Amino acid sequence: MSRFERIGAHLSVAFYAAQAVALVGGLAAFASFGEAAGRRWLDWTLPPMIALGIALVYVLPAWGAATALWKVFKDG
């Protein structure tokens, strides 16, 4: 696995881990402390996670394009 592929994999894992913290934490707060606590957790964590998701929608394809170009110029 190349350096670029490892970085892309780490970005993907970070994205899914952040989403899991937001959603699983909200579910746990909801189950443990009720609807109000679950909503407060999601109100606090979900907006940054949505922003992270939107950023990665643009960052990961750009990273993939950079990886492809790097391989073309390096191997070619």
Distance CA(18)–CA(16), nearest Å, equals 5
Per-residue pLDDT averaged across 5-32, rounded?
87
Q: At residue 2, does pLDDT exceed 80?
A: no
> How much is the pLDDT for 36?
94
Residue type, 52: L
> How much is the pLDDT for 76?
65
User: What's this model's pTM, rounded to 2 decimal places?
Assistant: 0.60
Q: What is the pLDDT of residues 37-74, one digit of tens each?
A: 999 998 999 888 888 888 888 887 888 888 889 889 98
